[in-house]
Structure formats: structure tokens, C-alpha cells
Amino acid sequence: MPDAATDFGPSLRDLSKPEWIAEVGDIVDARGWIRPLGARHLATFIEDNSTLLVTFETLQGIQALSPLGHPLGWDLVRDQRWSHLAVMSDGDTWFRDAKVYELFDRLVDEGFFDGFDRVLFFGAGPGGYAAAAFSVAAPGARVLAIQPQATLDPAMTEWDNRFTHMRRTCFTDRYGYAPDMTEACERAFILFDPRVAEDAMHAALFSTPAVTRLRMPNMGAALQTDLLQMGLLTDLIELAGKGMLTPRVFHAMARARRDHLPYLRRLLSRLDADDREPLARRLCANVAARLHAPRFARRLEALHDPAAE
């Protein structure tokens, strides 16, 4: 098998879907396998050491978030020599497809997960739901899920109007209710912004003893993107995979948001909406003194001189 620590080759950005799948198939062919899973799903596996990362991503998200158009786990295959199972969807499907269930059934029957010392399931949003739901296939695994939905069964989550197009999709059969599927986990970390009401309500449904909720207030609805921009996502996945992620470690890492302008802008908007002018003034003074942030400098001047607004 070729050295999985070597480069994965050229950029796969902006390829058509058939071209991208063909290129990925060529890359993983000598290191593992690629399997189509019906019309909208695909799985690839790269074998290396005894830590397995299982990721759930969309083809569109890979193109949008990766500078090279590579699945997220490839960085850890290269840098940490981890093995990697990527399950990918064409669009947001929440991976509710019999072909995906069959894949995990087959892997369980083959004892696939038993061949690894450590297994981590990862995903965000619909992928976070899938990471939690399919983790039941590997008892003792760890889960890192960013803003996951617990279910989209309208009987339980009729309050979530963001995904009404999924209400006819069955979330009550196999691998269905994600919180229940985490009962056999060693540890499941749920990252969310408590100020995004729907995400907070889904997070509250994850209440098994294995679950640790990690709050990131004022980060908004695209938490995975912000974590990537702050350079934290790969580190969080690595720490979770090695069993080294704790709330204390997480909150120390999350201090990086103090230098992340999108977060700081959202925080300022929140203070303005709550009419907390003294705190807004202190925030603007702090940011303007530390960072190149003209918006905060102008806002600070306006706060000192109301006529300037």
C-alpha cells in the first residue's frame, strides 16, 4: 500500500461531480476502496493506523470548505496517519437512505470497526446528525458533532421550521433518533451556539450520560466554517480522536474567537440589539486597540460622539 502520509495529489476544486468521483476513486484505489451507495451517496475508505475517523460530508460542502476540494479527513490521514471512512452525500440528505444503512450493517457484520483501537465519528449539521446516529455501529466510539439535529421527525421537532422539506423523510426507523444512538458511545461532544434557538433545542435532546455539550455563544449558524477559519477544527477532531478533548481544553481553545472578526461583529450586533452601550464601547475599544478593524474604530468614535452616528 502506498504511504498514506504522502500528498493526495492536485486540487480537486471545481471539477464536475463525475470528474471529482473519478479522481477520488483513483486516489483511494491503492489505499482502500470506494463504494457508490445509490444515487446520492458515496463512501471511501483509506486504511492506515489503528485510529479510524468516520466523517459525514456533502460533496458541495467539500468543494466550498476545502481549498483543494478534498474530504475533511484527508488532512488527518496525511498528518496523523489515521484511517478514514468518508460517507458523502449529494446535497443535504441527513444520510437517510437504505443504501447507507446497508453499508454500516455490512461493516458491523464484517467486524470492520473491531479492527481499530479508537474510532471517532464526526460531522456538522446534517452530518452531525449522521455522526451521532451511525455511531451506534461502533460501541465505545467517540463522537464530535457540530450543530447536529437530533431528528427531523415532525412529531418531535415541529418547532424547527428550517427543514420542512424533510418532514416526509422517515426518521423513526433504523439509525433514526440520534440521541438514542449515542448511548453506547464512550463520549459524544455536541458543539452549538445556545443563541441559535433551534440548535439549542436539538442539543438539549442529546441527554445520554455520554454526552458533553460545548457552548459557543454568538458564533452563529455556520459554526464549522468559523472553526475552520480560526484554525481550530482539525485540532478539535484530533483531540477528540485521541481522547484528549475536555471542556477545559475546549474553552481554552475557544478563546481564539476573541481575534475572529465575524464573531466580534456578531457580538457587537448583540450588544447593540440589547442596548448595552457601555459594553459595546468597551468591546470596540478592545478590538480597535488589538486588531485592524476600521468598523470597530468608527463605532467607537460614534459611541463617544452620539452626533457622529
pLDDT at 115: 95
Q: For 129-142, what is each residue's pLDDT tens digit? A: 999 999 999 999 99
Average pLDDT, the chain: 93
pTM score: 0.93
Q: Residue 246 and residue 240: Cα distance in Å, rounded?
A: 8
pLDDT(1) > 80: no
- The second-level CATH assignment, the architecture, of 17-258 is 3-Layer(aba) Sandwich (3.40)
pLDDT(305) > 90: no
Backbone angles phi, psi at 211, to 5 degrees: -85, 135
Tell me 6's DSSP state: S
Buried b (16+ CB within 10 A) or exposed e, 174-183: ebebbbbbbe
E-strand stretches of the chain? 32-37, 41-46, 51-58, 83-89, 118-124, 142-146, 187-192, 211-215
Percent of the chain with pLDDT over 70: 96
Torsion (CA) 95, 228, 293, 276 in degrees, nearest 10:
50
Q: Residue 58 and residue 153: Cα distance in Å, rounded?
A: 21
C-alpha cell recorded at residue 266: 456578531
Spell out the domain ranges in the chain.
Answer: 17-258, 261-308
CB 206, CB 190: distance < 8 Å:
yes
The full 3-state SS of 186-218, as one line of letters, equals: CEEEEEECCCCHHHHHHHHHCCCCCEEEEECCC
Q: Which of 86, 29, 79, 27 is nearest to 59 (CA)?
A: 86
* pLDDT band (50, 70, 90) for residue 98: very high
The mean pLDDT value for 180-198 works out to 96
pLDDT(307) > 60: no
- Count of C-beta atoms within a 10 Å radius of residue 72: 25
